[in-house]
Amino acid sequence: MNKTVMADDFTVTDWIGFVYIVMFIIGLFGFPILAAEFRDMYQDFGETLPILTTLALIPWISISLGIASLSVFSLLWHKSIKASLMKQRAVLVISFIFSGATFGVCCFAIFQPIFNISSQTLLN
């Protein structure tokens, strides 16, 4: 009487995580558009940028992070993972952490020069 659990048994929390992962991945693929606007603004400053910001302004960096996040997320459809709800949830959690962390680092990196300027202003 053991029942094999499938994706149909996802809870609301699983689906919310699923939606957030998709939003993070779309954000990573769309990030170069946002970075282009900040690149123009930072060129007007004329100062050297932090290394993390310089990397985030390179368009292929966020796209490659999006591809990596999508690769982890696409494991949900692998045959061996699809058979177990526990494995699917593990992939969801790993994908959520990875895509959320990479998107968060990109967002922090793009605003890092602004944070530096504001902290210098507060110290003066």
Count Cβ atoms below 10 Å from residue 120 Cβ, excluding itself: 9
| Within a domain: 61 | yes
pLDDT tens for each residue of the chain, 124 residues long: 455 555 567 888 889 999 999 999 999 999 999 998 888 888 887 778 889 999 999 999 999 999 999 999 999 988 988 888 899 999 999 999 999 999 999 999 999 988 887 876 666 6
Provide the residue range defining the domain that includes 106: 11-123
- The whole-number pLDDT of residue 10 equals 82
| Within a domain: 57 | yes
| Within a domain: 5 | no
- The whole-number pLDDT of residue 61 equals 94
| Within a domain: 111 | yes
109: buried, middle or exposed (CB in 10 Å: 19+, 13-18, 0-12)?
Answer: buried
Q: How many domains does the chain have?
A: 1
- The whole-number pLDDT of residue 7 equals 52
